[in-house]
Amino acid sequence: MKKWLSMSIALMLIIGVLAACSSGGSEKSSSKGKDEVVFWAPFSGPDGPNMKQIVDEFNKSQDKHFVKLQIVPQTDYYKTVDLSLNGKKDSPELLIMHGDQIITYANKGVIKSIDDIIGDTVKKENYHENAWKGTEVDGKLYGVPLDIHPLMFYWNKTLFKEAGLDPEKPPTNREEFIDMAQKLTDKDKQQWGFVVPTLWPQQFIFPTIVYQNGGELISDGKVDYTSPEVVDALTFLRDLIDKYNVSPADVQQDGEMNMFLQGKNAMHFNGPWMMNQFDESKLDYGVSPVPRLGTKQDAVFANSHNFVIPESVKDEKKIEAITDFLNYVGENGMAWAESGQAPASKAVYESDEFGKMKQQPQVAKQFDYAQYSPSVENWGPISDPLYKAVNEVLLGQKEAEKALEEAEKESQAQLK
């Protein structure tokens, strides 16, 4: 018995060690005599090879600089970044940062303002104007944009056809959305027009509707979840379940996405990063900008990927290597578009090749009116009470106004 136990434990240990070995140290360096730049990115998903391709091509295109790409697993990315920036050893000299994280790092003075760096090689006018907004803190720019990733709208064309709807005409506003959702719902077949998620990606959907209503989640430095614009957004989502009956109740984490993949959910919101998974599922799906579910204006919640430089990087040669590389990415970023994302560089998103793609031009269509998360430090944890309220209301366990009022107090207490 004991022998059996120790054998199995030994086996597990060996497997663990082997797994650890195989994941490290494949990066070969050929940087002799060149200015090396260590570049970190969280692209551990299917988008990793796309970034690697750009880096490899850059390294081949010239012989002055060498960029060394290190992919850090997405889930541990900011932990790893924090620890390395703080230890100052093996720290990156260039890294990818999400737009909503920039303010925290900028306020702590650990990333550089890039105002002095742009102009000569990396030019502001080569990128979409709105992309720069995502990197701005107190009037200074802290990052060079890679992409903007707004919420997208996906629909199942097969179900549209079956319901007698034109599969090439997605809804564009709230009325059409409700009308189509009702036509697409067939409870006997366990088929729903729009399954309302109760958790992620509400962090993208909910603010989209609030912004479309012309509302804000933080106004004048105060948390504001009780304005009519915010309450309406939540009531509307709840009504889809209760009043319009186009969604089942009690949807769990990823429930709506699984049903979309199974062909039981006709319409779905998610980020452009889902493209690969939808393609693999062999669904006949369409993708477009999000319809205007709010009542006032076109808007969509977005986050972004940006290149930032740690404050500790001072060497002129390194800076030159970095700017050369960033300029190269701007001009040759088509590989990044192939991952499903829309690069913010005009050279890419205005090109013919880009325009012929399926999803990516739809993403770029939303650049003009994309809005980001409120510009405060730690928006993620501060907004947790809000998404708990959204969760409870959509699960039918609390009233919208009361839940939002409580959440407002909790978030306000955390906003220093």
Subset of residues 24 to 43 that bind another protein, contact rule: CB under 8 A:
none
For residues 354 and 331, give the distance between their C-alpha atoms in angstroms, rounded to a whole number. 13
How many Å apart are CA 268 and CA 275, to the nearest integer?
12
Please pick, from the candidates 31, 232, 398, 401, the single residue that binds another protein as defined by CB under 8 A.
398
Report the candidate in 326, 353, 313 with the shortest Cα–Cα distance to residue 337.
353
Instruction: Kindly state the smallest distance separating residue 32's Cβ from another protein, in Å.
Output: 33
Sketch the per residue contact string, 76 through 105, with another protein: x for CB under 8 A, - otherwise.
Answer: --xx--xx-xx-----------------xx
148-156, 258-266, 283-291, 345-353 -> range binding another protein (CB under 8 A): 258-266
DSSP state of 146: E
How many residues of this chain interact with another protein, rule: CB under 8 A? 46
| Site track for another protein across 111-150, x = CB under 8 A | ----------------------------------------
The set of residues, in sequence order, having a beta carbon less than 8 Å from that of 96 and lying 6+ positions away, is 40, 41, 42, 43, 146, 305, 306, 307, 308
Tell me if 312 sits within 8 A of 107, measured CB to CB: no
| Beta-ladder partners of 95 | 40, 308
Among 395, 399, 401, 405, binds another protein (CB under 8 A): 395
Burial class (CB in 10 A: 0-12, 13-18, 19+), 291: buried
From candidates 380, 399, 401, 405, binder to another protein by CB under 8 A: 380
- Of 12, 252, 289, nearest in space to 170 by CA: 289
Distance CA(376)–CA(396), nearest Å, equals: 30
Binder among 41, 117, 199, 363 for another protein (CB under 8 A): 199
347 binds another protein (CB under 8 A): no
Does the footprint of another protein cover residue 2 (CB under 8 A)? Answer: yes
- Which of 1, 3, 26, 189 is close enough to bind another protein by CB under 8 A? 1
Nearest to 383, CA basis, from 241, 245, 223: 223
The Cα–Cα gap between 267 and 238 comes to: 16
Determine, following the binding rule CB under 8 A, whether residue 392 of this chain makes contact with another protein.
yes
Take residue 286 and report the two structure tokens written for it: 């369409």
User: Quick one: which of 6, 70, 262, 276 contacts another protein (CB under 8 A)?
Assistant: 262
Cα four-point dihedral sign 341, 342, 345, 347: positive
Q: Based on CB atoms, which residue is closest to another protein, 343 or 385? A: 385
- Binders of another protein among 212-231, rule CB under 8 A? none
Binding-site member from 172, 182, 245, 414 for another protein (CB under 8 A): 414
Q: Which of 6, 62, 219, 253 touches another protein by CB under 8 A?
A: 253
Question: Would you tell me which residues interact with another protein (CB under 8 A)?
Answer: 1-2, 5, 8, 12, 78-79, 82-83, 85-86, 104-105, 108, 110, 190, 195, 198-200, 248-255, 258-259, 262, 264, 378, 380-381, 384, 388-389, 391-392, 395, 397-398, 410, 413-414
